Amino acid sequence: MRSWFRHIKQVRRRIIVEDALKYLHKCDREGRQSTIESVGEAIGVSSQRMADLCQRMQIQGVVEISDGNQIYITPTGKQLALQVIRAHRLWEKYLVDEARVPLADVHAMADRREHKRNFEAMSELDASMGYPTVDPHGDPIPTAEGVLVQTVTVPLTRWATGRLATIVHLEDEPVTIFAQIAAIGLRPGQQIKVIESTSERIVFTDHQEVHVLAPIVAANVFLAPADPTTVPISSLRLTSLEIGSSAQVCGLDNTLQGYTRRRLLDLGLTRGAQIAAEYRSFLGDPVAYRVRGSLIALRQDQAEHVLISMFKDQEQGHV
């Protein structure tokens, strides 16, 4: 019994250390200075306990402490932090794409799973999803070698009106603000155009709908210039295709990656293919589509990633 309690204590200590390293890695990347108190406050640990753990972490070589209070992550600490970050983002990707967990719920679930990891299990999870490069929030997934590729982004609040943009990242904290972002269906890879930007509100369109966000919420949506070679913003979603109608596939949106993307491409859903909605299942989902002479069934969450353009004689009903 004593050994079991000792094991539990060690596991809890390791979790706190890993959480601290994740926070220090983020501060280092953003150029922010950290103190023992600020780390403890960020991860919910008392200053005294954090001070004791920081002394242990310094002995382990993952942090350095200067002036008795300033704390810095070391190269060894960064590599450990990247392992935890990699596990967290792979689990988020799995939970959204494979387990179909709502985006608003995956962060907390991945937080619990990231500490139960080993190299082989993470490699298998990575391979099973087709080696995704970003998580569902648009954050880059570190490689097994600890390489993290960052993208330069601009918050929605600073984006010029009339300029086409691609959503690159959705900040998932604070949770209450992220819930508002998730509620209107924003996702990385989505193209948008800002219509109005003031100190009171940000108005933008994804062509399907016009959205309005308060600046405090819009500041958590990060953009990059839209790639002119990607599918245009005017494309519709396959889910909008009525039974008995046909359309042309423009491509797959950038939010769909890995195994699921390859599967849809293998089914013939490539640019230029003609697709027809044949019939809907008894429960309404999935829907049967005919593409390249074959009948395939797609769930709504899969069809949402297929972008189409209507033929001229059908466009009137989809304006």
Neighbours of 199 (CB within 10 A): 7
Grouping H, G, I as helix, E, B as strand and the rest as coil, residue 133 is: coil
Residue 144 domain flag: no
Residue where a domain terminates, one of 73, 98, 116: 73
Q: What is the pLDDT of residue 312?
A: 56
Q: 170 and 216: one domain?
A: yes
Residue 91 domain flag: no
Per-residue confidence in pLDDT tens, the chain, 319 aa: 667 777 788 888 899 999 999 999 999 998 999 999 999 999 999 989 999 999 999 999 999 999 878 999 999 999 999 999 999 999 999 998 888 888 888 999 999 999 988 888 899 999 888 888 889 888 899 999 999 988 889 999 999 999 999 999 999 888 899 999 988 888 888 889 999 999 999 999 987 789 999 999 999 999 999 876 555 555 688 998 999 999 999 888 766 777 788 889 999 999 899 999 999 988 888 999 999 999 999 998 889 889 898 865 554 444 3
Residue 291: which domain range?
Answer: 236-318
Q: 248 and 311: one domain?
A: yes
Residue where a domain terminates, one of 34, 55, 73: 73
Q: 208 and 260: one domain?
A: no
Total domain count, the chain = 3
How far, CA to CA in Å, does 17 sit from each of 66, 73, 206?
A: 18, 12, 41
pTM of structure: 0.75
Helix (H) or strand (E) holding 34: strand 34-35
Residue 118 domain flag: no
- Whichever domain contains 277, its CATH number is 2.30.30.90
Residue 219 domain flag: yes
How far, CA to CA in Å, does 189 sit from each of 32, 52, 117?
A: 29, 43, 29
319 vs 316: CA distance, rounded Å: 6
Helix (H) or strand (E) holding 64: strand 63-66
Q: What is the pLDDT of residue 79?
A: 95
Rounded to 5 degrees, what angle do the CA atoms 227, 317, 247 make? Answer: 55
Tokens of 73: 């992550």
Residue where a domain terminates, one of 174, 203, 225: 225
Residue 258 domain flag: yes
Residue 111 domain flag: no
Q: 215 and 256: one domain?
A: no
Q: 256 and 219: one domain?
A: no
75 vs 229: CA distance, rounded Å: 38
Q: What is the pLDDT of residue 274?
A: 95
Residue 109 domain flag: no
Residue 127 domain flag: no
